[in-house]
Amino acid sequence: MNKCDQCIVRQLSSLKALNKEEIIKLANSKTTYKVKKGEALFEEGEVTNGVFCVKDGVGKLSKLSANGKDQIVKLVKSGELLGQRSMISNEPANLTAKAIADMEVCFIPKTEIINFFNSNNQFSLNMMQSVCEDLKESENEKIALVQKTVKQRLAETLLHLHSEFGEDADKTLKVQLTREELAGIIGTATESCIRLLSDFNKLGLIELVGKKIMLKDVRSLKKLADN
Amino acid sequence: MNKCDQCIVRQLSSLKALNKEEIIKLANSKTTYKVKKGEALFEEGEVTNGVFCVKDGVGKLSKLSANGKDQIVKLVKSGELLGQRSMISNEPANLTAKAIADMEVCFIPKTEIINFFNSNNQFSLNMMQSVCEDLKESENEKIALVQKTVKQRLAETLLHLHSEFGEDADKTLKVQLTREELAGIIGTATESCIRLLSDFNKLGLIELVGKKIMLKDVRSLKKLADN
DNA sequence: TTATTAAGATGATAATTGTCATGTTTCATT
DNA sequence: AATGAAACATGACAATTATCATCTTAATAA
């Protein structure tokens, strides 16, 4: 009996294709550690040489621009893998990965993953599909970024955060992003983001509970987002 | 001796990992045909059930938005594969593929590709790396779309088209896009695109030779693009 | 607790970009 | 060569969004 067997990442990610033997190998080669909110798992340009399993917490993949703004490309939650692309491409990381909420992660060295690729076809296929999924999402977001207004993108992002991460007991969004981070996802200035949140609040679409956000009128938000 | 053996796609794409036997199988299962400029290879939502090899010509992957604008996600040139993502994900096409210049393509059925996946690990890995490459590009373009102005994106795109597709004997860009298509790549209104081309022309960065574009000051364009 | 800093909020204004209208050029077709 | 359609071009104007300044509130450290 070992821990990886019951791990959420094993259940949700490409790793689900691994058999018992392989899971044992995995358990022996992995290293587990914690990453505090705000800390980086890896930075752009770094050679990671492996894959990270997110057991708990939330992370963001982002890139710093010349003007100092941090564009967030993707949020990662527990059960997902991180750093697959760089590993497969044999390249240093293209993005920086930071914890948005305290994280617990396992690191699997590249050599081990390559072994799995060679011994387990379904695992390869899963990994491929996962990258394909990321690609599709990235392309669709790229389109949304150009074809929708900031207002629409904000509505869309709020809905996405809601369905992806759920809500707390007080009905507010579980992922707690700063306004700056939220602006970094939708690709706008922090002030514009704040202003629109304020507008949404006045319109009764959302409610601002301190720094937290509660979705109040999902239907109208949806209508706003995709029209 | 068969045609696939010498094909440019075989030399440049993931297919380079295939051995002689596999190439023969490939040659027997593929179908070749032509696609005229403006015609579609496949449309969004269509189930393609295979992969397309681009032997000659240029294609665009795009998505039509609600307001009737066609956002171009990627250009494809000879030597590249098309439709890998949908095939791997088992999903209908997310984008529409159309010919920008008369194309000659081969269609490889999915069953054949799956066989190669199972028999040839390097082929799987190549395919994975190719999707990863697309993902990286897509993410970087997504960032550029938000963090750069339309002017910067136009400069960047012109340089990209130049390095990717080269120039004709008269020094103008080889890919001939309409202003509307160019606008669709950089994600702006056609009029804005035309206006900026006109500005670039006046500034001596480019020269407009009828509908064709000649890059005249690559250095300044570069400076403009990434600052 | 107080001081200090970071995050959030809002107004005023400027810059960028989109939209609509209209005219010109180019190209294909009869 | 005449016609019509599509592509290109440009002006005028409106809408969106960014930037700068300032203020309030919340969080953190001394």
Of B67, B86, B66, the C-alpha closest to B134 is: B86
The two structure tokens encoding residue B36? 């005229």
Of B17, B20, B116, B91, the C-alpha closest to A121 is: B116
Q: State the pLDDT at residue B2.
A: 64
Within 8 A of B145 by CB-CB distance, chain A residues are 142, 145-146, 187
- pLDDT average, residue stretch A119-145: 94
Q: Which chain A residues in 168-207 sit with Cβ < 7 A of strand D?
A: 187-189, 191-192
- Closest CA to the C1' of C25: that residue is B210
Q: State the pLDDT at residue A67.
A: 77
CA of A187 to C1' of C15 (A): 18
How remote is the C-alpha of B49 from its chain's centroid? 20
Residue-wise pLDDT tens digits, B24-55: 999 999 999 999 999 999 999 999 999 999 99
Interchain contact A64–B (C-beta under 8 A): no
Confidence at A206, pLDDT banded by 50, 70, 90: very high
Distances (CA, A) of A74 to A60, A92, B66: 6, 18, 25
| Structural domains of chain B, with CATH | 3-135 (2.60.120.10), 148-225 (1.10.10.10)
Distances (CA, A) of A138 to A44, A144, A145, B5, B66: 18, 10, 10, 34, 19
3-class secondary structure per residue, chain A: CCHHHHCHHHHHCHHHHCCHHHHHHHHHHCEEEEECCCCEEECCCCCCCEEEEEEEEEEEEEEECCCCCEEEEEEEECCCEECHHHHHHCCCCCCEEEEEEEEEEEEEEHHHHHHHHHHCHHHHHHHHHHHHHHHHHHHHHHHHHHHCCHHHHHHHHHHHHHHHHCECCCCEECCCCCHHHHHHHHCCCHHHHHHHHHHHHHCCCEEEECCEEEECCHHHHHHHHCC
Q: State the pLDDT at residue A2.
A: 64
Residue-wise pLDDT tens digits, A23-49: 999 999 999 999 999 999 999 999 999
A212, closest nucleotide (Cα–C1'):
C8
More confident residue, B64 or A134: A134
- Residue A188 to residue A182: CA distance in whole angstroms: 9
- pLDDT average, residue stretch A127-138: 96
Within 8 A of B149 by CB-CB distance, chain A residues are none
Residue the block writes with tokens 């199972």: B118
Mean pLDDT of chain A: 94
- Under-50 pLDDT residues of chain B: none
Cβ distance of B127 and A129 shorter than 8 Å: no
- pLDDT average, residue stretch A216-226: 94
Residue B75 to chain A, least CA–CA distance (Å): 13
- Among all residues of chain A, which has the CA nearest to that of B146? A187
Interchain contact B91–A (C-beta under 8 A): yes
Cβ distance of B138 and A139 shorter than 8 Å: yes
CA of B122 to C1' of D22 (A): 61
Number of neighbouring beta carbons within 10 Å of residue A202: 9
- Residue B31 to residue B184: CA distance in whole angstroms: 31
Chain C bases having any atom below 7 Å from a protein CB: 7-12, 16-21, 26-27
A-proximal residues of B, 1-60, CB under 8 Å:
none
Within 8 A of A121 by CB-CB distance, chain B residues are 117-118, 124
Of the partner residues B118, B121, B136, the one whose CB lies closest to the CB of residue A89: B136
Cβ distance of B95 and A139 shorter than 8 Å: yes
- DSSP-assigned letters across all residues of B39-106: -EEE-TT----EEEEEEEEEEEEEEE-TTS-EEEEEEEETT-EESHHHHHHT---SSEEEEEEEEEEE
- Residue A68 to residue A190: CA distance in whole angstroms: 12
Cβ distance of A139 and B67 shorter than 8 Å: no
Chain D bases having any atom below 7 Å from a protein CB: 7-12, 16-21, 26-27
List CB contacts of A104: < 8 A, sequence separation 6 or more.
A32, A33, A34, A35, A54, A55, A56, A57
